[in-house]
Amino acid sequence: QVQLVESGGRLVQAGGSLRLSCAASGRTFSRNAMGWFRQAPGKEREFVATISWDGSTNAYADSVKGRFTISRDNAKNTVYLQMNSLKPEDTAVYYCAAAPGRFALSRQNDYNYWGQGTQVTVSS
């Protein structure tokens, strides 16, 4: 199985940037599509971004499109989320997730492994 550990979350001012990392362990990481989700206080977990097994295909939620970029480095078993032009509404716990297949969509059920989350707080 795959184990995921997120890091990089912190307090940042609106308009600033932040990069989250997700370190994965497991022999099949390079064959897994990966995703980022987030959960704001009092709200349900929502899709943020996904990336195919080889990084060739990315998809984003409309709320973050043009501001966030997902990437991966299979040699380091790590997936990243670069967040630019941050807004207070981006405040949430961000979760890394791995899918069984090489491609995944925005559905939470596409993913079967989840990290513990990292807190991102954006101040105005």
Give the bridge partners for 12, in sequence order: 122
* Residues contacting 9, CB < 8 A, separation 6+: 18, 20, 93, 94, 118, 119, 120, 121
Q: Determine contact, residues 96/36, Cβ cutoff 8 Å.
A: yes
The size of the chain, in residues, is 124
pLDDT over threshold 90, residue 80: yes
% of the chain beyond a pLDDT of 70: 98
pLDDT in tens, 30-75: 789 999 999 999 999 999 999 999 999 999 999 999 999 999 998 9
User: How far apart (Å, rounded) are the C-alpha atoms in residues 41 and 27?
Assistant: 34
Q: What is the pLDDT of residue 26?
A: 76
Structure tokens at 52: 């195919």
Phi and psi angles of residue 24, each rounded to the nearest 5 degrees, phi first? -115, 145
pLDDT at 1: 76
